[in-house]
Structure formats: structure tokens, C-alpha cells
Amino acid sequence: MKENGKNLVIVESPTKAKTISGFLGKNFQCVASNGHIRDLPKSRFGVDIPSFEPHYVVPRQKMKLVNQIKKLAACASDVYIATDEDREGEAIGWHIIDIAKPKHYKRISFHEITKTAITNALKNPREIDKMLVEAQEARRILDRIVGYRLSPLLAKKIARGLSAGRVQSVALRLIVEREREIAKFVPVKYFILNAKLTINNTEVEAKLSKIGAKKLKLGITDEAEALDIKTETEKLGFVIDSVKRKKTSRAPSPPLTTSRLQQLANSRLGYSPAFTMRIAQGLYEGKKVNGKQVGLITYMRTDSVNIAKSAALEAREFIKKHYTEQFVPKTIPVYKSGSSAQLAHEAIRPTDIKRTPEKMERFLDTKELKLYRLIWDCFIASQMAPAITDSMNITLKSGKTVWNAHLSSLRFPGWMIIEGKKAEDALITIDKSDRLTLKKVYIEQKETEPPLRYNAASLIKTLEKEGIGRPSTYATIVSVLLARNYIRKEKRSFVPEEISYKVVDRLVEYFPKLMDLKFTAHFETLLDEIAQGKITKLELLKEFWEPFSAQLEKAMDMPSEKPEDIPTEEKCPKCGSMLVIKTGRFGKFFACSGFPKCRYTKNFETKEKKIEGNCPVCGKELLIKNGRHGEFVACSGYPECKTILNKTGKSCEYCKEPLYKIAKKNDFVCINPSCSSKNRET
């Protein structure tokens, strides 16, 4: 086929292709691969053991596109691979080259879709990074080994439809173990003593911090002791023991990485990680602004906090113009990336700082604008001067007790001006000799609280801290756990389903290394070392496979926890075979005994049964109901009363009847109506 004189640029997405086309001349044609053009087969394992050679296939739905790319590549003057500059993007580019086999190609990369970035990339092409490709392939094979060897085992031994994953199962373990911590948590009451007083006509609040030589970490656990100290303090009053003043400089947070973007979008905007990445992808690939398709942010999959010098200089000019020179730091801020960060990458930032959220308001929908504002605010704040705070620590004495008071004043807002903060009045002057007036001493009764359930933000933070997975995978991990019904959301927090406990327990028992946080993090480090050329793909896979295969062999003898099918006298309406009652991930259901030839199923319905006892909230009768997750106890007053009770496995210490826990609360209750103890709520 003859060359047509045009250069071919290949990217992953149609939106990205459309944006890039606007920056290329008439001699360029841009097409999208729509992600990977080939992968491991879905219907079989697709990896040779022990050589660990993958067998890639082109999916049927991609055949037409692949043939088109082949034809375009064959007649192009030059082929430019412009996929994302990460492991996945490098692998996509390698697969395209391997299939299309152009006479010559050039690999170009950029962190933002702007005319300057595209022009510079075209001037500085490189080769495909084979080490990055090998790292991606090793990760893909690792995940295939775990998924295709463990998932059938779980389905056979526990319940149909279960799946396992190298990182997914470790993340599930974190959620399950946190829920168990919450269930066994026993609250402890404690008392905090505070005092209100005035010094130089300024009201100050002090807190008891020391009794004699003993420092208080939590508070006082004895109420009588707290009352005695209150009485004595009211009688003796206070004297000032010391006054210490200091000036504190608070630097801004670094620019956004992928994980921090997901955490902030979840905690501030309520966006799920997957939703955040979907919007960020659109902002990166391009939106129509004043009739032109432009990329609004830099590449959104990054673990680096580096910023291009040109972008930092533009930010400094913007800050000087809009916030005065006082808000410009003396030197460009430098932030330290994590040890595994790809330092050639940039943090997430706007491609043009002059495109303020206010100017973008008419070009973005509400949710896009909120995320863009978050990215813009975080970047501009990261390039601003530190905030300066004056603080004063006052130590007070009353008999044998020591109390502390703290006063602070924001003297210069610095980067905090982005959060709407303004400079405050200066602190008053306080000396040891100043007189003070005690207004009142009061006691606050508190209770220790159980650890919080994981939500998307805290789970991602923990995974990143432990070195498990990579920022680009966190959104997928959370989505899979929800989609597979291992966890559910309650008020944005993750609650494990009953099946999750069984899965985690069996995996920890039979695959302790796979479920170990340090072991999983170790292999993330090894994947980085492949990308750096320190080890080979084969070395990593052999190190993983040898202990895993031995554990897998032992796990074949794992006792089955699947309940036996219960025969019925009802016939299948499709094939006439008898129906049986099966138990799956969501409880009982009817299925045809002719499975897999006949796949007929229907919901298993049970009548509600009364249970002896009354609702601890409204006093109405309680019912045993059957839901998708099996039986549960609920109030008969639904929907006016939505109380649900879960069994705890514990017994009431007074009547020895089962103890229940009110769902979504930490209240443990005994519902036995004949239990006359005043402590029925335990």
C-alpha cells in the first residue's frame, strides 16, 4: 500500500483524538484505539506455566478497529504512538506496534494536551520503553494467576459467583478486620474538666492536663475524682505559671496526586473514586472552550508532586497580580514525592492557571466544575506563601492540678486565603503577674468511640500508606468490591457483607502470604524494579508462583462451606426438571436441577415470622424477615420505624438470651421482654 503522505497519531480515546487533532496540521491524522486492542482471553487462563508466556487475543469487537489501524499505519508517512505515559499506556502502544507492524514509528509523550506540549512531544520522540511494558505484563499475569486460580476455588467451596484478586482481597481484609474491631469494641466513660476565665478582659478556656506528676492522656475515668477536683479548683482558683508565645509558619499541601485527588473529592464533594477519575479523564482529554477543544488539566494518573517550572512561574505571576506580591513565596516551592513516584511526571494541575473556575463555569457542568475548582484551588494554594499564626500557650495552676489554655491568631493568611481565611486581630499581651477571674469549672462526660469504618477516602489513604496497589488502581478496587457485593455503602462508609467474613477467613487460613499487607506491598516494589530494569518479569513471577502454587494445592482440600441443595416438588417452567433450593451470595433462591443446561432461577420468598421481643426503639413487635443477604430482625412498624437488629453471637449477662446490635449504631440490646434488668440496653 502506498504512503498517503500523512502522519498517523494513535491515542487511546476518541475525545483525546479530537482535542489533539486541533493542534496538528493538515499532514496529520489522529485515531483512537479505545484502550487496549488486545488482552488475555476471558474464557481461559491464557498464560503458560512455568514459562509465564501470555497468549494475547484481539477481542471480536475490536477486530474492525484493529484492521483499520493496520491499513492506516501501512500507508502513513510516520506513525506516532501518543498513548498515556504510564505502564498501561506504554503497553497499549507496544501492542499497537506489535500488531500493526509499521515500517517505522515514533513514541511521543506529554503530560497535558496543549499545543505547546504536543509540539514539544513531536520534536522529541523516543522508543517504546520495553521495561515499562514488561512491568505492565508482569502485573497483568500476576492478577490473572490470582483471579483465575482462586475465584473458581471460592466458588466451589463457599458460594457461586465469588471472585478473588491480588489487591482486591487484601483491601477486603482491611474492611472486614475494621468491622470486627468495631463489633468487639467496649466503650469506656471518661470525664474532661474545663474552666472558663477572663484575663485582661479576654475570655480564655483552659483544660485540665496534669494531676500532680501524672499527665492526662484521655481524661479522668472516676467521676467522683472529677467532682472533687472541680470543687477544689472552684475554691482555690488559678494562678498563671507560664506564658509562651511563638510564631508558626504553616506551609500549603503539595499539588494533587491521583490518590489525594480521589480522597479530597470523596471527603469534600462526595464523589466515588471511579466517578472522580471519569470526570478527571474528561477534563484531561478536553472540553470545548470558546469553540475550541482544549485539555483543562494535566494527566490525572500520577504519584508525583513535581510541577513544571513554566507552570510554577505562571502561577507566581497570577498570584502577584490577583493577591499582591506578599502572597508570592521567595522561591518556588519544592515538594517531596514518594519513593516509588515517577519523577518525570507532573502533579495534577490546570493546564492554564488563567482559566479560573469562574471563567470555566459556562463550559462545564456542575460536577465537572466542582472537581476543576478543587484541582485549581489545590494547585494555586500549593504555589503560595505559608500562612503565619501567632500562638500563646498559657499554663495555669490550681493546687496540685495543672491546666492549659491556648490562644491563636492568624496574622497572615498566605495560601489559606484560597479557603476564605483572613488576617485576625493580634493577640493580647499576658504576663504571669496579670490577674484573672474564674467564671466557672465544668465537667464534660465523654465515651471512647470505636474506630471509624473505612470510606473511599480512608481506604485509599491506607492502601497508599501500606504500599498496596497503585493510585491508578484504587478506583477499580473500590468499584469491584461494591459490584461483587462484598461490601455495601452505609452513609458513605463501607460495611462488609456476611459472605466477606467467610472469604477473608479462608483466604487468610490457606493463603497467608497473599493476604499479608507487607507481602502485597513487596510485589508492588518488585513491579517498580522491573520498570527500572533491576529485575526481570520472570524472576518476579517465579518468586510469586512457587509459594502460591504450593498453597493452592493444599487449599484444594479446604472443607466445603456450601450448603446442600434442598429438593422441592416444584417443576421448572422451562424444562420440566425439578427445582431445588440453593444458597448463593445473596441467600436462598430456586434453581433448576438441570443446571448448567437450564439456567432458570427465581427468588426465594419466605413469610415474615414474629419473634418474641419488642423493638428497643419504638416498642412494637419484631419480625424475622428474609432479604437478599439472608434473615434479619426488623421492626414491624416499618416504614415509620426502620430499626434493624443484627445478631452478635453474645448473650445478655442478666438473662443469657441472645444480644443484638442495632444496625448503624453501636447500641447492644437484649430484646427478651422478661429480662427485667434496668440494663436491658447494654
CB atoms within 10 A of CB 426: 9
| 35-41-44 Cα angle (round to 5) | 155
Which 3 state secondary structure label does DSSP give 342? coil
- 299 an active-site residue? yes
Q: The C-alpha cell of 541 is what?
A: 513471577
Cell of 610: 414474629
Q: Is residue 625 within 8 Å of residue 611, measured between CB atoms? A: no
Judge whether 280 and 297 are in contact, CB under 8 Å.
yes
Q: Which residue has the cell 460536577?
A: 367
CB 459 within 8 A of CB 478: yes
Q: Which cell numbers hold the place of 110?
A: 506529554
**Spatial CA neighbour of 228 closest among 395, 398, 396:** 398
φ/ψ (deg, to 5) at 445: -90, 130
DSSP calls for 210-246:
EETTEEPSS-BS-HHHHHHHHHHHHHH--EEEEEEEE
Instruction: Give the C-alpha separation, 21 to 6, whole Å.
Output: 13
* Residue 267 DSSP symbol: I
Please provide the DSSP assignment of 403-420 as one string: EEEEEEEEEE-GGGGGGT
Q: Rounded to an integer, what distance in angstroms lies between the CA atom of residue 628 and that of residue 614? A: 24
**String of b and e for 79-109 (b: at least 16 CB within 10 Å)?**
bbbbbbbbbbbbbbbbbbbebbebeebbbbb
Report the distance separating Cα 620 and Cα 642, nearest Å.
11
What single-letter DSSP state applies at residue 518? H
Contact call for residues 58 and 100 (beta carbons, < 8 A): no
* Phi, psi (degrees; rounded to nearest 5) at 668: -100, 130
Q: Give the span between the Cα atoms of 622 and 679, in whole angstroms.
A: 20
Catalytic residue among 105, 190, 271, 299: 299
Pairing label, strands 566-571, 578-584: antiparallel
d(CA 661, CA 672): 14
Are 176 and 504 within 8 A, CB to CB?
yes
Question: What is the three-class DSSP state of 496?
Answer: strand
Task: Report helix, strand or coil for 549.
Answer: helix
- Catalytic residue positions, numbered: 299
